[in-house]
Structure formats: C-alpha cells, structure tokens
Chains A and B, each alone.
Chain A
Amino acid sequence: MSQSAADPLLDITVRVNGVRRTAAAPARRLLSDFLRHDLGLTGTHVGCEHGVCGACTVLVDGEPARACLMFAVTAQAHDVTTVEGIGHDPADLDPVQQAFVECHALQCGFCTPGFVTTISAYLDEHPDPSADEAREAISGNLCRCTGYQNIVAAVLRAAELRREREGTP
C-alpha cells in the first residue's frame, strides 16, 4: 500500500517572535521541528525529545513550554517566543544573554537557549530573586557543561541588568 496520502499537509500559522509565520506541515510535526526545520529558526535545540532536558524551551503566550512535547498545530494562533525573539543580534544582547556572557554561564551552548527563555519568563514574574530562588528557577533544565553555578550567578546578574536598564530613561 502506498502511504503518500496518509500524511496530509496542513497550513499551520503561528505568531513567532511577533511575526505571523505560515508553513505547510503534517499534523504530527512537533513544534520544535516546525520551528527548526520548517521556519529555519534553529536556535531552539532538541536535547532529548521527551520533555526532560529543557533545551527546546520556548515561550507560548509568555509561558515556558517544551517545544518537543507540543505539536505545531497546537500552537496555531498562539504567540511563540524563541531565543531569537529574546535577542537575535550578537551585538545587541538582552539582559539575560548579557548576564550569561559576563558570568561565563555557557560552555558548549547547546542547552543555553532553553535556559535563556526560561530565565526571561521567570524574571518577568520574579524581578529580584535570591540565589536559592535563582537555582530553583533553573532546576528544570539540564546542562552537562557548567555545573550550574555560573548560570545561577547569571540569573542574579540578569535581574540586576534588567533593573538598571529599566531605571534608564
């Protein structure tokens, strides 16, 4: 039997980083694959494909979500923010990204986009965390390089940078 018709393509429209994006993909396409392969936004990384490592974390309507546990069609008509939406210009970093540079909070960088999105959303709700709270905030994401210590420091530094930038007219 031929399978050619069994996987029909759907036009999926998602608002990604503030821009309406449409691509044709089958219903079973994971949001992570849709972002990476259909839209070419490869900043979202896939580390486990079973929702544990957090590398693929994106913000859906502002809330952290594992893009590998969602179908792209589920994101239809929702707002998705990827690491590129947090800041895509290496010369113009967001406070969280800047804090990661200053604190040496990344090594290989593979898990990093998931941390950046997670921390961004966290700081929106908790602008002034303690060190323990910062550690708790990142404890759903796996990193195999850094031992997390500098990521904790980066959360605190990012909070500081955000306050500084907000304080600047």
Chain B
Amino acid sequence: MGEKVQRREDPRLLTGNGRYLDDLGRGALQAAFVRSPHAHARIVDIDIADAWELDGVEAIYTWEDLPGRVAEPLPVLIPHPAMTHARTGYCLARDEVNHVGEAVVMVVARDRYVAEDACARITVQYDTLPAVVGVARARDGDRLVHDDVPGNVAANLRQEVGDVDTAMAAAPHTLTLELAIERSACMPMEGKGVFARWDADDGSLRLYSSTQTSTGVRAAVAAKLELPLAKVEVVTPDVGGGFGVKIVHPWPEEVLVPWAARNLGRDVKWTEDRREHFVSSAHERGQLQEVTVGFDDDGRLLALDVHFWHDNGAYTPYGIIVPIITATQLLGPYKPGAYRVEFWSLYTNTVLVTPYRGAGRPQGCYAMERTMDAIAEHRGLDRAEVRSRNFIQPDEMPWDHGLMFQDGRPLKYDSGDFPASLAKLKALVGWDDFAAYREQAAREGRRVGLGIGCYVEGTGVGPYEGGHVQVETSGRVNVATGLTTQGQGHQTILAQIVADELGVPFDDVHVTTGDTRRMAYAVGTFASRGAVMSGNAVALAARVVRAKALRIAAEALEVSPDDLDIADGVVSVKGAPGTSIALKTVAVMSNPLRYAFDASAAAATQFAGTFDPDTPPVGDDDEPGLEGQDFYSPTQATFANGMHAAVVETDPVTAEIRILRYCVVHDCGVMVNPMIVEGQVHGGVAQGVGGALYERMVYDEGGQLLNASFMDFLMPYASEVPHIETDHLETPSPLNPLGIKGAGEAGTIPVSAVIASAIEDAEGFPIRSMPISPAELWELRRRHAASDPHPVPVQEDPR
C-alpha cells in the first residue's frame, strides 16, 4: 500500500497480448445495423428483399421478428419518483425513431463487410417529424419528442434546505447568472462490442461484452432472453476505456447479439465502429443554468437558488442520476446558506445522455465556481479569499448538507481539509505572485489570466462489492472481484492490497475482475468506486483468509494464533522465525483430501499428527480450502475533493487560447498506488481540457450530428494538453477500513470552471458559456467592445 508499484497489466498490453472484445471470436458471424438517418420519424416500411440476395447473409431482423421480452422496451435501470415520464427505446425501433443512429434493422452475416453491404441494400421508408434539438427548444415545449410527454419533461425535481426566499430577501447583495454548458462524450478509444457463444448442448450462454458491469449485463440478458441466471455467464475482456458510457446496460446490441447467437446456433459478434459510437451510444453535459445568489459584504453565501434544464436526449434508461448529481455536488466545499435547487430533465431528439466521467459534477462545479468569481468581482475581493470564507472547516466534519445524494442517502461529507488544500494550491501555482507576472506579461504585449476551481466528489457509492481470496497449494493467491476494469490498474492495486493484508509476495497474487464465473455479485465500475469498494472488499476477504490460516497453523504448531505472524508467504511464531509453516502448506492442511500431487502436500504430512475419530474431517463451522469471501458495503459515499488552478494566455489579436500552466491539488484519502492516482488525474484533466476548449456535439436543427468523426470532433492530442503539475493531500476516509476515497473522475470535474475563470481573468468580461473556441472569444470581445468600453462583468439584481 502506498507504493508506486509498476502495473501488472502492462507487459501483456504492450506486446499485443491484450484481449479486447474484437480480438475474440475469430470466425464468428458479424452483426451490423441499419440505423435511422432521421432524428424524428415514423417508420412506414422496411424492405429487406434485396439484402437477402447477398451471399453470406445469415439473418436479417426487424422489430417484428423479436420475440417475448426481447421485443419489449429496454428497462429503466434507476427509476426515481420525480421521473414521472421515463421513456426507453426498443432493441430495434418499433414504429418510431427518436434520434439519428437509433437501430432499426439488424443484419448478421459472414463478416462485417458483407453485413454492411446488406445494410446498404435495405430500404426503410420514413415519415419525418419535426425534431427537438437543444435544451432551449425542448424547454419551449412547442414540439414534442414523445407525444405523451408534455413539455418534454422527463423529470422535475426540487430540493430546498432552509428558507431561500427569506434569506435571499434579507441578503445585502444578490446576483443572477445565466450559464450554459454544451455536450461532449466519453469517447473511449475502443467502442462498445459484444460477442456471444451459445452452447446448444448445455443450453447455456457465454457472453463477452466491453462493459463496465458484467453482473448487470448478465442479469439483464437472462431476463430478456428468459434464461435461468445459472445458464448465463458474462465475461469482460480487456476494455479499451469506458468513462461511463459502458455502465449503461443492456445496450440493444447486448440483447440482440446473444439472442441471434441462440437463434442461429452460431457465434455472433458485433463491434461498434466510431460513427456508430457517436450516434448510437451516449453523450453528456448539456445544460442551461440560472443561479441567483445572496451574499454579505464579505462575500459569504447567504442564499443560493439554482434552476437548471438538463438535456437527457431521446430516452432515459439511466434515469436522472446526472442532474441529481449536478444538483447536489454543485455545493462543492462550501456552505451555501439556504439552498434551493430545481431541475427539469428534458427530452430531445438526440443521442441519449448518461454519465460521462464527472457525471453531472462538471456542470455543478461550473455553476458554483462561476458564481464564486462573480461574487469576488462584485465585492472587489480576491477570488481565493471568497472561496476560503465559504469553506466548510475541517472541525465541522462530518458535514451534512441536508440533501439526498445520488444513492438516495444523505449528502454528508466524511472528511476533508479544504483550507489546507487551498493553501497547497496557492503555493503550487504561485497565486500571490500572479499580479506581478500579469504586469510583466502585459509589458510584453501578452494577455494572461489565472483561474481557479474547487470541487467535492462523492465517490465509492454502494451498495456493495465483494472479494474472494484463495490460496492454492502452490502458494499462488487468486483474488476475484466482480467489478470490471477499463484501465484503472485493478490487477495491480488489488494485488498490492491483498499482498499487504495477507502477508504474501505481490508477485504471487493474481486478480480477476468482471467475470461472473468468479464473482456473481457485483455492481460495476463507475462513480470512482473501484478502489474504494473492491479495494476494501478484497482487504476484508484477505483478512478472513488470514484468520483461517492463523487458526490452522496455530493448531499444527501448538501455539496461540495471537503468537503467529504471516510474512512473505510464511506463517511463523513471533520472535521465533525458525518455527514456521509455509502458507502453501497451510493451504494443503486446510483440505482433508490430500493426494500427494505436489511438494506442498507431501510436506503437510509432517503436521498431520493425531486426530479425533469422533469429529468429522471438516468441522461444522468450517469449509475445506484456504479461501474466503467478504463484501464491503458502506453506509454512504465517501467524499474526495480537489482544487485546480490554471494560467492561460489569450492572443490579443487572434483570440487563440493557450493553457500555460495547469495545477492540481487532489485529496482522495489514502493512496494505494500514487503512480496510478496521478495517472487518473492526468487523464481526467485531459478530458476536462477537451470539454473546456475543443469538444462539443454539433447538432443541426434537424438533429443531424455534424461532427460525428474524429476529423471533426476535436479530442485533444498531446499538442493540446498542458503539462500538469500535481500535489496531494491524504485525508483518510473514516468510513472504510483502508481510508480510501475514489480518484477516477476528479481530474475532469473542475476544468471547464477553471478555464472559464482564467479566460475571464485575462479578458475582463464574464464567460458564461463553455466550451469556448477562439472564434467565440473573438466574438465576445467584439460585443463587449461595442456595447461598453468598460463592461461590468455581472449585473446587480435591480431589486
């Protein structure tokens, strides 16, 4: 624990020995889909005759071919009382399509080339309907996505703590900010993919999916295909990134591919291509926000009143998790005074919206941090000082905001030292010296700005994860946990934890994730929960095994278990290291069936001793084998936090925006592997930079996604991502045995807020819409220059 251990996964992945979804099933039939070219239309007719003529076509399916539950709408995974109008699509569109990219016809053929040829020969006639695109259009409600959803409102939720109206009326100062943030998407380098193998003799299904939850997919597919759970196993191979999009399940293809495999009695595979990923997976982030804040002369919050309108796309299979997180995590490290938040989650005829790294937090952080800067500007105060005055203090932990969090449990921060984090950040970026730097830059004709953003992230939400630890008679230690891995290094960090807990060499520990054959109960990898949940679960399981090993060894050595220790795979008497048994020998002794297959079994016989003929070989409360299982289930999320600062330079002529420095102070509690935490932060910041300056989903009014390729959707290359400077604080979580908090999403959360803050600082006028391109900045400059030579950054409420 705490060491920068090199990753166990790497040599395999670096040498072409990784096994990602499309690397499996060589020779399997391949699926391709006819997808809707219209954002909103009724299906009039589908003509597949021409496609059937192609050699190599094995099956063509439309909705009408689907039986039973496969033909029913996809499930709403996480219902919520406020979601009065949940709507989901079908595996293949029935009668109507609601976004470009929705699957209409499935083709299974000899290979993908033939399958796509067949798709091109299928003619679908549509009656087009007016499309609803963008939050503003959806909010108008004059056009509807779903006829039976008035105002396009999937959900409306309001939470209030304290009396906002009274507190706002009494506040010496108030401001209102109108804010916008646009769509981006996870864009893992590997898209989704499914490979199904139906065993007709056994009546069972093995499914491989590039997913963030193998157990979830298993349960969903068993239900849809009406198979016993025991006849379905789901294995997650190497996954080429997830970032949220692969937690949604079941995707239509996860149902259709195994269904087709069973139908045809053949292996069937589908590998999503990049355009499919753009138009038929999921996006996130799009919101319009309105923040009204009341504060005193010192910039202390007295009342905060937030309304926002969230674009949930065409369907709501994942419920309203994203806007709930925005509504609650918006508060960051601050005490808001009275707080009221109300959101409307709205349908549009665009790709559906589900969590993307940060999952609603980037939008919430953006709203709060824009507000903090506005207060500082209004009062003429230092921006860091305003933040500091509103911090929840370390001695006020645990801090209960009085709100309900995404997991339905109280939004209660467990620990954190925000003043210490801010002090570290100010030192790292040189906050107090920036004025001098700015002046010097100005003398050189350069324009620079400093930005800041703070956030708190609820991580490690429940309900549980499990760990299973088994010591083989060879000394090999097998560890299994059910959640999946998409690059987080779980094989390394979980092995570190078990090696420490059990007292065995790291190299002896082998970890399996995301395989329902090894761990049937699991939730999944999202919400920065992998290390918190499975880390603690495997630690608890290792402790079970350790206790059993000590008990067996104590009997053999005729000492008390308290007198024993385990180190380097050997159980020995404390202070008398000569009196010892290898753990692998204890593994042999744990099982009364001892064929002398190996050296360990032979060695164990010397401890066989006498036995009581009246007791069974395996005791009533015992089991054979040196293995154990346990589950970690927390009462609530644990809250990590961090603060970022950036220095940007904006070109006075071209409005080009360049990040000169990017600084991160991050507190995720105890770090299992600081190298991996750092890597998570780097990657998160890079995605945040993409979302702040480059990435957006450009839909036209008709609902066509105009930039559905890597040529046009500008994901950052190395040339766009700045060098990231980091510092860490380790405030342990009191909630779990290892003191861990999650780290996966942290880097992404504040970046849009930080960059907006820095550009605002450089330019002297408010930034209220992100992402921002040089062209948009140039246009803002022109407008501010035209309207007012000395623009006031924010408008005081005239009341």
Q: Which residues of A contact B (CB under 8 A)?
A: 1-4, 7, 26, 28-29, 36-37, 40-50, 52-53, 55, 82-84, 86-91, 93, 97, 100-102, 104, 106-113, 116, 135-136, 138-152
Contact, CB under 8 Å: A101 / B189: no
Asked if B487 contacts A147 (CB within 8 A), the reply is no
Q: Are B710 and A53 in contact (CB under 8 A)?
A: yes
Using Cβ atoms and an 8 Å threshold, which residues of chain B touch A86?
A: 15
Binary CB contact string for chain B from 1 to 36 against chain A (1 if under 8 A, 0 otherwise): 000001101111111111110110010000000000
Once A40-B26, A50-B274 are accepted as A-B contacts, the answer to whether A145 and B55 lie under 8 Å apart by CB is no
Number of interface residues of B (CB under 8 A): 61
- Inter-chain contact A150/B679, CB cutoff 8 Å: yes
Provide the bound-state CA to CA distance between A46 and B275, in Å.
13
Q: A86 vs B53: C-alpha distance in the bound complex, in angstroms?
A: 44
Shortest Cβ distance from A163 into chain B, in angstroms? Answer: 20
B18, B710, B718, B724: the one contacting A151 at CB < 8 Å is: B718
Contact check: which of A26, A82, A101 meets B10 at CB < 8 Å?
Answer: A101
Name the interface residues of B468-489: CB closer than 8 Å to any CB of A.
486-489
Q: Is B274 a contact partner of A146 (Cβ separation < 8 A)?
A: no
Given contacts A26-B113, A86-B15, 8 further A-B contacts (CB under 8 A): A45-B20, A47-B274, A106-B14, A108-B240, A108-B487, A109-B18, A145-B487, A147-B683
Min CB distance, A61 to chain B, in Å? 20
Report if A110-B23 is in contact (Cβ < 8 Å); known contacts: A144-B683, A146-B683, A147-B721.
no
A3 lies within 8 A of B55 (CB): yes
* Contact among B6, B117, B189, B711 with A3 in the assembled complex (CB-CB below 8 Å): B117
Complex CA gap A135/B678 in Å reads 19
B709 touches A55 (CB 8 A): no
A-B CB contact pairs (8 Å), 14 listed: A3-B56, A41-B16, A43-B16, A47-B240, A53-B710, A101-B10, A101-B11, A104-B7, A107-B241, A110-B188, A144-B189, A145-B679, A147-B721, A150-B679
Interfacial chain B residues near A45, Cβ < 8 Å: 20, 189-190, 240
State in angstroms the CA–CA spacing of A141 and B687 once bound together.
Answer: 15
Classify the interface of chain A: helix, strand, loop or mixed.
loop
Report yes or no: B22 in contact with A36, Cβ–Cβ below 8 A.
Answer: yes
Chain A residues with Cβ below 8 Å from B241 are 107-108, 110, 144-145
Residues of chain B within 8 A (CB-CB) of A106 are 10, 13-14, 487
Partner of A110, one of B12, B240, B678, B679: B240
With a CB–CB cut-off of 8 A, which chain B residues contact A49? 273-274
Q: In whole Å, how far is B531's beta carbon from the nearest beta carbon of chain A?
A: 14
Instruction: Give the docked Cα–Cα distance between A84 and B644 (Å).
Output: 40
- Residue of B10, B187, B682 with highest tally of chain A CB at under 10 A: B10
Q: Judging by beta carbons under 8 Å apart, are B16 and A97 in contact?
A: no
B675–A104 touching, CB < 8 Å: yes
User: Cβ of B719 and Cβ of A42 under 8 Å apart?
Assistant: no
Per the bound structure, the CA–CA distance linking A5 and B12 in Å amounts to 41
With A28-B113, A101-B6, A147-B686 known as contacts, the answer to whether A107 contacts B679 (CB < 8 A) is yes
Assess the A146–B686 pair: CB atoms within 8 A. Answer: yes
Also in contact, A111 and B189, with CB within 8 A (given A145-B241, A145-B487, A149-B682): yes
Query: Are A112 and B53 in contact, with the CB atoms below 8 A?
Result: no
Which residue of chain B lies nearest to A17 when distances are taken between CB atoms in the complex? B16
Query: Is B715 located at the chain interface by the 8 A CB criterion?
Result: yes
Within the complex, the shortest CB–CB distance from A148 to chain B, in Å, comes to 4
Question: In the bound complex, what is the Cα–Cα distance between A89 and B719 (angstroms)?
Answer: 32
Asked if residues B14 and A144 are in contact (CB atoms below 8 Å), the reply is no
Q: Can you name the residue of chain B whose Cβ is closest to the Cβ of A87?
A: B15
Residues of B within 8 A of A53 (CB): 189, 710
Q: Which of B12, B16, B683 contacts A42 (CB 8 A)?
A: B16
The residue in chain B whose Cβ has the minimal distance to the Cβ of A149 is: B682
Residues of A contacting B710 in the complex (Cβ-Cβ under 8 angstroms): 47-48, 50, 52-53, 142
Q: Which 3 A-B pairs have the closest CB atoms?
A: A43-B16, A110-B240, A108-B487
Residue of B16, B18, B54, B682 ringed by the most chain A CB atoms within 10 A: B16
Distance in angstroms from B20 CB to nearest chain A CB is: 6
Complex-state Cα separation, A126 to B486, whole angstroms:
33
Q: From residue B50, how far is it (CB to closest CB) to chain A in Å?
A: 9
Report the nearest B residue to A3, measured CB to CB. Answer: B54
Interface assignment of B676: CB less than 8 Å from any CB of chain A: yes
CB distance from A5 to the nearest CB of B (A): 8
For residue B746, give the distance in angstroms from its CB to the closest CB of chain A: 13
In contact, B16 and A138 (Cβ under 8 angstroms): no
Q: Is B723 an interface residue when CB atoms closer than 8 A count as contact?
A: yes
Q: In the complex, which residues of chain A have a beta carbon less than 8 angstroms from the beta carbon of B597? A: none
Which B residue's beta carbon lies closest to that of A101?
Answer: B10
Contact A101 B718 (CB under 8 A): no
Other-chain residue from B15, B487, B675 in contact with A89 (beta carbon distance below 8 A): B15
How far apart are the CA atoms of A36 and B723 in the complex, in Å?
Answer: 35
Task: Say yes or no for B119: interface residue by CB 8 A criterion.
Answer: no
Contact partners of A90 in chain B: CB under 8 A: 11-12, 14-15, 17
Contacts A2-B55, A52-B710, A144-B187 given: A107-B17 contact, CB under 8 Å?
no
Are A83 and B16 in contact, with the CB atoms below 8 A? yes
Task: Name the A residues within 8 Å of B56 (CB-CB).
Answer: 3-4
Interface: B251 (CB within 8 A) = no
A4 & B686 in contact (Cβ 8 Å cutoff): no
Which residues of chain A are near B239, meaning CB under 8 Å? 108
Min Cβ gap B113→A in Å is: 7
Q: Closest CB-CB distance, A139 to chain B, in whole Å?
A: 4
Among residues 40 to 75 in chain B, which have CB atoms less than 8 Å away from a CB atom of chain A?
53-56
Min distance, Cβ B658 to any Cβ of chain A, angstroms: 14
| Partner of A136 from B687, B719, B723 at Cβ < 8 Å | B719
Residues of B within 8 A of A109 (CB): 9-10, 13-14, 18, 238, 240, 487
In whole angstroms, what is the CA distance A124 to B412 when docked?
A: 55
Q: Which residues of B contact A141 (CB under 8 A)?
A: 717-718
The residue among A104, A140, A145, A147 with the most chain B CB atoms within 10 A of its own CB is A147
Interface check B132, CB cutoff 8 A: no
**B106 interface residue (CB < 8 Å to A):** no
| Contact present for B190 and A47 (CB under 8 Å) | yes
Checking A7, A44, A46, A135 against B718 with a beta-carbon cut-off of 8 angstroms, the contacting residue is A135
Fill in one digit per residue for B233-256: 1 if any A CB lies within 8 Å of its CB, else 0: 000001111010000000000000
Residues of B within 8 A of A139 (CB): 717-719
Complex CA–CA separation, A40 to B26 (angstroms): 8
Please give the distance in Å from A153's CB to the nearest CB on chain B: 10
Contact B14 A87 (CB under 8 A): yes
B306 touches A (CB below 8 Å) = no
A122 to B101, CA, bound (A): 39
Q: Which chain B residues border A43 with CB–CB below 8 Å?
A: 15-18
Contacts of B10 in A (CB 8 A): 100-101, 106, 109
A88 touches B16 (CB 8 A): yes
Q: What's the Cα separation between A83 and B18 when bound, in Å? A: 11
Tell me the minimal C-beta distance from B561 to chain A in angstroms.
39
List the B side residues contacting A151 at CB < 8 Å.
718
Q: Is B692 an interface residue (CB 8 A)?
A: no
Are B14 and A47 interface neighbours, CB within 8 A? Answer: no
- Please, how many angstroms separate the alpha-carbon atoms of A55 and B489 in the complex? 20
Contact assessment for B14 and A135 in the assembled complex, using a CB-CB cutoff below 8 Å: no
> Using Cβ atoms and an 8 Å threshold, which residues of chain A touch B113?
7, 26, 28-29
B685 within 8 A of partner (CB): yes
**A110-B16 contact given A50-B711, A104-B676, A147-B721, CB 8 Å threshold:** no
